[in-house]
Amino acid sequence: MPTVNINVNGQDLSAEVEERQLLVHFLRDDMDLTGTHVGCDTSQCGACVVHLEGKAVKSCTMLAVQANGKNITTIEGVADGDNLHPVQEAFRDHHGLQCGFCTPGMIMAAIDIINRKPNLDEKIVREELEGNLCRCTGYQNIVKSILAAANK
């Protein structure tokens, strides 16, 4: 099996992976980073979103071997110790979650949106959330949380 060297949340890791192993399964099953979720497993729901070299990608639609030599950030890596990331803080303050299943992907997507788009408004946020589904349909507060975090 190929060996991959991946930096996950600031930590250099070396591991053997099967060629066909998806990045999301490497993170969850091998690295015990179960914050990244598998929702639809068909590239639609965005529950598995992580950052690859700082950009949001769907970890269910990527092989672990493709991440060799790259930096990955998962939901576990965004807080600074006990201090939540501003986007996490905003989701808590504005009740941006109901069941919470989509939340890790929503937060990773939100950080990416805020990084890329300097002047966010509600319309842009809703368009940018194209790749993230909330089956509780809790979008009102998710959008509110992202706008609040962007204005911090």
Partner 1 sequence: MYNFIYEKVNTIQEVEKLLSENEETKILAGGQTLIPTMKQRLASPSTLIDISGIDELNFINDNGNSVTIGSTVTHNEVSSSDIIMKKIPSLASLAEGIGDPHVRNMGTIGGSIANNDPTADYPTACLSLNAKIKTNNREINAEDFFIGLFETALEENEIVVSVEFNIPKKSSYMKFPNPASRYAMAGVYLSVFDDAVNVAVTGASENGVFKWTEMEEALSINLSLENAKNIKLSSDGVMSDIHADSAYRANLVDIMALRAVENLI
Residues at the interface with partner 1 (CB under 8 A):
2, 18-20, 22, 41-44, 46, 49, 52, 55-58, 61-63, 65-66, 68, 109, 112-113, 116, 128, 130-132
Tally Cβ neighbours within 10 Å of residue 69: 9
- Look at residue 27 and give its three-state secondary structure: helix
Tally Cβ neighbours within 10 Å of residue 77: 18
Nearest distance in Å: CB 28, partner 1: 16
Residues 97 and 135: beta-carbon distance below 8 Å:
no
Nearest distance in Å: CB 82, partner 1: 29
Nearer to partner 1, 55 or 92 (CB): 55
Tally Cβ neighbours within 10 Å of residue 40: 14
Nearer to partner 1, 3 or 92 (CB): 3
Nearer to partner 1, 61 or 71 (CB): 61
